[in-house]
A = this chain, B = another copy of it.
Amino acid sequence: MNGMLWYGADYNPDQWLDRPDILARDIELMKKAHISVVSLGIFAWSALEPAEGDYRLDWMQEVIDRLWAAGIRVDLATPSGARPAWLAQKYPEVRRVNPDRVRQLFGDRQNHCYTSPVYREKVRAIDQALARRFGRHPAVVMWHISNEFGGECHCELCQQAFRDWLREKYGSLDAINRAWNTAFWSHTYTDFSQIESPAPQGESAMNGLILDWKRFVSHQTTDFMKWERDCVREIVPEAKVCVNMMYRFDMIDYFEMGREIDLASWDSYPTWHKPTQTFEETAIDTAMMHDLIYSVKGQPFWQMECTPSMTNWQGVSKVKKPGVNLFSGLQAVAHGADGVLYFQWRQSRGAFEKFHGAVVAHDGREDNRVFAEAARLGALLEQLAPVAGERKEKQAAIVFDWSAKWALEGSQGPRNKGLGYWEEITRHYAALSRLGVNVDFVNEDAELSGYRLVVAPMLYMLREDFAAKLRAFTQNGGTLVVTYWSGVADDTDLCYLGDTPHGLCDVLGLRRLEIDGMYDGETRRCIPAEGSPLAACTCGTLCEVEALEGARPLLLYDEDFFKGHAAAAVNDFGAGRAYTLASRFEEGFYLPFYRGICEGLVTRAWPDELPAGMLAVRRGRFIFLQNAADTPNRAGDVELPAYGTAVFEDGKRIL
């Protein structure tokens, strides 16, 4: 498995069992496209078990044998993502209950109850049947556990599981009442059975409960995933498992889930070519997700799904223009992917995603643009095999913690029209990315050693222990950047009493006085403080007013009642240095700000400044230079066509 970059697609032969000609043609075309692995049978449960306990695995045996014969490996799916109609009908408890307490009917997919003992038993049976039959097949190199985990269930089983989880976490109702400040609005619980998950017709205002419910959902989803993993490993102890994660997915703490799997992966569907964003911006946004998924385990991942052409479920389905599929595949590799796979190999004839792009379209042709480009990418990935397994150097870390995000976004105020948390993150990431600095994402459980720079954007919920880590990191010579609205609440969303940012006032050399919300489009001017290298700019969204207690101002507000107060400041602390950004600045602020910070701190991927559109990424001994633009571009003596890529190994161009 090492020494190669995997190339493949979701493969759903169960949709074509009545067309052996098509199944045969699939293998032939896969070879032409340099396919080395397929994710097999993700939605095949009905085909594998058409009636309860009636397993029909022979067709899959044939498919796997044929793939193996063709040199193609299998990422074998557990089919739990979509259950058969008979199962949904016979056992209502497996169907989810919506937040409004209405149980779902059969339909769609990925909507089973994660708690249901019946569902777990039925999943166990089919998973183990697959494991027994195929678990030791030489073609099977990976297990694809279910599919795109997500969602939540509010059934009575889940309510009980939630209460048990709370009892385990807090020990007593008293502790819960304190943690959630239930005295507010007289919500004191006197019996566990009074606690219920949020509902449109029920609780919607108890921040601590809502936060813990989100944590529970993430926990329970991960617990279900572990159940499946362990069902497989009971039969095949050495089985490797992966899950496919999603773009900016809010409902699961992927760091938590990542601890339980062997390989992280994600399904990447950027809306390339949209009029509201440059191609480069879309590319950086995609890179950010690659780096987040890399960070989940701190090791190479797979881009488990993408489209060779277009999706069918976005508002507007744009096709990738010529060269873009190549660009995006190589970009994934640059950021740490060891595998690039599509959804899906062959377009379905009917149902929801029949117009989702695939390597083989309804026309069945190999002489079209999409197939040709897919085959070309397959060939290039073979050529780039040496990149496989290469890790990325630790340089900068951005703090991104699911619990902290949930707390921030659920906290009610100071700007309910939108805090723009991802927008804030993106500003920092994009600047570092354009500078060619490697960025990891870390949560509040992380160790910070090895990083030179840590950025904590809107770290509203700051745990005591993590505040201590940030302090130590800075003390020991690290560079810390903290923004407005950080260090406000503890890990149950109780506000810290006393000065804030809690635990960081001395590190930052200041304390928060007030924070003012800005309307959309409303900005405030900032000017450089004396001696500051920063330029005048505007800011908005939220303007925090600080009392400096040691820090030196870098920018000063130049408007409103807080005119003259610091909008940005720096403080020397121990052997390190801590910056405070008291507001969200216009985008142009961040690149020069981080260029100054990074100078002498980290080695950038490309020694010279790059023109707009050119992006350089270092992955171990390899450097990828990509032209994220639809016109030719040049960096030094390297000229790249639109969407072109150059790869260097130890400084030598190999592509």
Chain A residues close to B by CB (< 8 Å)? 12, 14-15, 17-18, 43-47, 50-51, 79, 82-86, 88-89, 98, 100-109, 178-191, 193-194, 196, 198-199, 201-208, 274-275, 309-319, 321-322, 347-356, 362-364, 368-370, 411-417, 492-500, 511-519, 521-522, 560-561
Are B492 and A414 interface neighbours, CB within 8 A?
no
* Other-chain residue from B88, B105, B352, B414 in contact with A412 (beta carbon distance below 8 A): B352
Are the CB atoms of A85 and B194 closer together than 8 Å? Answer: yes
* B185 and A352 form a contact (CB under 8 A): yes
Residue from B318, B497, B514, B517 within 8 A of A369 (CB atoms):
B514
Whether A191 and B106, one on each chain, are in contact in the complex, defined by CB atoms closer than 8 angstroms, is no
Residues of B within 8 A of A201 (CB): 98, 102-105
A106-B194, A312-B412, A519-B316 given; A322·B561 CB < 8 A: yes
- With A189-B85, A412-B313, A514-B369 known to touch, is A350 a contact of B180 (CB < 8 Å)? yes
A7 to B191, CA, bound (A): 39
A-B contact pairs, 24 of them (CB 8 A): A18-B178, A43-B186, A44-B186, A46-B182, A85-B187, A85-B191, A104-B201, A107-B199, A107-B202, A181-B348, A181-B351, A184-B350, A185-B352, A205-B352, A275-B521, A311-B413, A317-B516, A318-B517, A350-B493, A354-B412, A354-B413, A362-B495, A368-B513, A369-B514
Cα–Cα, bound, A647→B18 (Å): 64
Contacting pair B184 A312 (CB below 8 A): no
Q: Is the CB of A190 within 8 A of B51?
A: yes
Is the CB–CB distance between B190 and A86 below 8 Å? yes
Contact at B107–A351, with CB atoms within 8 Å? Answer: no
A82 partner, pick from B100, B105, B185, beta carbons under 8 A: B185
Query: In the complex the two chains form, is A190's CB within 8 Å of B108's CB?
Result: no
Question: What 5 A-B pairs come out closest when comparing CB atoms?
Answer: A181-B350, A105-B202, A312-B413, A107-B203, A355-B413
* Contacting pair B355 A411 (CB below 8 A): yes
Pick the most buried of A47, A83, A185: most chain B CB atoms within 10 A of its CB: A185
Residue contact B356 to A413, C-beta cutoff 8 Å: yes
In the bound complex, what is the Cα–Cα distance between A196 and B184 (angstroms)? 36
In addition to A89-B194, A107-B196, A107-B205, 16 A-B residue pairs with Cβ atoms within 8 Å of each other are A15-B181, A17-B183, A43-B183, A43-B184, A82-B186, A83-B186, A102-B201, A107-B206, A310-B516, A310-B517, A311-B413, A316-B415, A316-B517, A349-B495, A353-B412, A363-B499
The residues of B that contact A88 with a CB separation of less than 8 Å are 194
In the bound complex, residues from chain B placing their C-beta under 8 Å from that of A412 are 312-313, 352-355
Question: Contact: B497 with A183, CB < 8 Å?
Answer: no
With A184-B15, A316-B519 already in contact, the answer to whether A351 and B190 are too (CB < 8 A) is no
Complex alpha-carbon distance, A184 and B16, angstroms: 10
How far is B117's CA from A653's CA once the two chains are assembled, in angstroms? 79
Instruction: Look across to chain B and name the residue whose beta carbon is closest to the beta carbon of A642.
Output: B561
CB distance from A537 to the nearest CB of B (A): 20
Q: Shortest beta-carbon distance, A630 to chain B, in Å?
A: 9
B82 contacts A188, C-beta separation under 8 Å = no
Query: Could you tell me the distance between the alpha carbons of A47 and B191 in the complex, rounded to whole angstroms?
Result: 15
Give Cα A492 to B354, complex, Å: 13
* Nearest chain B CB to A102 CB, angstrom units: 5
Are B350's CB and A492's CB within 8 A?
A: yes
State whether B106 touches A498 (Cβ < 8 A).
no
A183 to B56, CA, bound (A): 14
| Choice from B275, B316, B414 contacting A417 with Cβ under 8 Å | B316
B89 A188 Cβ-Cβ under 8 A? no
For A194, the chain B residues whose CB sits under 8 A away are: 85-86, 88-89, 106
**Inter-subunit contact B204/A107 (CB<8 Å):** yes
Is the CB–CB distance between A362 and B513 below 8 Å? no
| Chain B residues whose CB sits within 8 angstroms of the CB of A369 once the complex forms | 513-514
CA distance A101 to B105 in the complex (A): 10
Contact of A353 among B51, B184, B493 (CB under 8 A): B184
Is A188 a contact partner of B349 (Cβ separation < 8 A)? no
Q: Which residues of B contact A84 (CB under 8 A)?
A: 186, 188, 190
Q: Which residue among A102, A105, A494 has the maximum number of chain B CB atoms within 10 Å of its CB?
A: A105
B517 adjacent to A351 (CB under 8 Å): no
With both chains docked as a complex, state the minimum distance between the C-beta of A443 and any C-beta of chain B, in angstroms: 22
Q: B residues within 8 A CB of A183?
A: 12, 14-15, 17, 43, 46-47
Cα distance, A135 to B14, chains bound together (Å): 60
Name which residue of chain B comes closest to A82, CB basis: B186
Interchain nearest-CB distance for A548 vs B (Å): 15
How far apart are A314's CB and chain B's nearest CB, in angstroms? 7
Instruction: Return the contact of A355 from the options B44, B179, B414, B511 (Cβ within 8 A).
Output: B414
Residue of B nearest to A541 (CB): B316
Q: Which residues of B contact A207 (CB under 8 A)?
A: 350-352, 354
Contact A315 B352 (CB under 8 A): no
